[in-house]
Structure 1
Amino acid sequence: MKLLKVALTSALLLLTGCVSQYSITEKELETYLNDEMHFEVKQGNKIFGVELHVNDIKVTLGEKPDTMAVSAVTIVNVRNPLMPINANLVTEFEAEPWYDATDNSVHLRNLQLVKVESKPQDIEKAIGSIAPELMRFLTQFLETQPVYVLDTKESNQALIADITKRIEVKPGKLVLIFEE
């Protein structure tokens, strides 16, 4: 049965022009992350509190071998009567993407924080106390959520999901490898 499925998938791929590989582009990853991943933290009350919201996620593939870079803008609002803070943190992470065949998804491992910038820049000292906590939240979130899931309701992706064994990072794309 497995051999028949592989043969049918191979024939379909030949007919659709995807001879031996399928790839996911940086743009597809960005669209998926911006549409599907919602990271928001709200703590405190109306007088004292913190709100964090991640948006504008960008992806760079293959700039370094086997590496996916993810940058995101985190909107930070700190409520307090003495010094309310509104800022944007721009964070950049690097990680190794890997394919999980059990749920047809791409995940990240070995996540490393590369850079953090704040806008406005003079706010860095004031948000310095919450930055490590934010980085821990973001790291845990990115390591535990898939960054892309093949759509098994769509026939081509369902067939591809069945035969994908692993992925390789190439400049600008993730290549799904079918055979081992």
Structure 2
Amino acid sequence: MMKPLTLIGVMLLLLLTGCASQYSITESDIEQYLNKDMHFEVKQGNQLIGVSLKLNEIQVVLGQKPNTMAVTAATVIRVNNPLLPIQARLKTTFEAEPWYDSKTKSVYLRQLNLVKVESEPKDIERYIAQATPQLMGFLRNYLQTQPVYTLDVNDSNQALMAKMTKALEVHQGKLVVKF
């Protein structure tokens, strides 16, 4: 029979082991990282005739669908032409599966699907319809090749987590890093 003090010590050790087996990255953490560190701008053409696209104001929703991260980005688009210059804001939402790359200590997205595009002004879509697939292709490629979160190896806790991470799980409002 175990002594009460030993039993309490074993229970405390089990509790601490369970706490140390996972770490969470919140939606807010990812949004801050993306809005601070992710810069996406595409310019094609010249000042007379051309297109520019700039991504900003990224929002993240985790776990609304199983194993899925939704990324919504406000995008400013400018179409320069001598007859009808256009400026609009597109709000695009992609859904993707997050995954962890142990070599770069980063979270990336795969299987990106464009689920929604809204424009402001609303009737601008007919003017930019021909450019939209190419622009969404640029955006999709960028989001698939750039990390959406990188563990900070200068922080001792995150450096330890980066070495021990085995998998990611998407929960409502957070990514759970499993060791």
TM over 0.5: yes
Paired with 1:99 and 1:48, the residues of 2 have a C-alpha distance of 41
- Mapping of 1:14-163 within 5 angstroms? 14=16, 18-163=19-164
Paired with 1:95 and 1:46, the residues of 2 have a C-alpha distance of 35
CA deviation after TM superposition for structure 1 residue 20, in Å: 2.4
Partner amino acid for 2:84? M
Give 3-state SS (helix, strand or coil) of 1:95's partner: strand
Paired with 1:118 and 1:129, the residues of 2 have a C-alpha distance of 15
Partner amino acid for 2:121? P
Give 3-state SS (helix, strand or coil) of 1:132's partner: helix
- Mapping of 1:165-176 within 5 angstroms? 165-176=166-177
CA deviation after TM superposition for structure 1 residue 18, in Å: 4.5
Runs of 4+ in 1 over 6 A off after TM superposition: none
Paired with 1:174 and 1:110, the residues of 2 have a C-alpha distance of 17
Greater C-alpha radius of gyration: 2
The count of corresponding residues between Structure 1 and Structure 2 is 165
CA deviation after TM superposition for structure 1 residue 107, in Å: 0.6
Structure 2 length as normaliser, TM-score? 0.89
Query: What whole-Å deviation, never above 9, does each CA across 1:63-114 have from its counterpart, x for those lacking one?
Result: 0000000000110011111000000011000000011111111011110000
Partner amino acid for 2:150? V
Give 3-state SS (helix, strand or coil) of 1:82's partner: coil
Paired with 1:19 and 1:96, the residues of 2 have a C-alpha distance of 25
Match of 2:9 in 1: none
Paired with 1:66 and 1:79, the residues of 2 have a C-alpha distance of 40
Match of 1:6 in 2: none
Paired with 1:25 and 1:155, the residues of 2 have a C-alpha distance of 19
CA deviation after TM superposition for structure 1 residue 127, in Å: 0.8
Unpaired runs of at least 5, structure 2 = 1-12
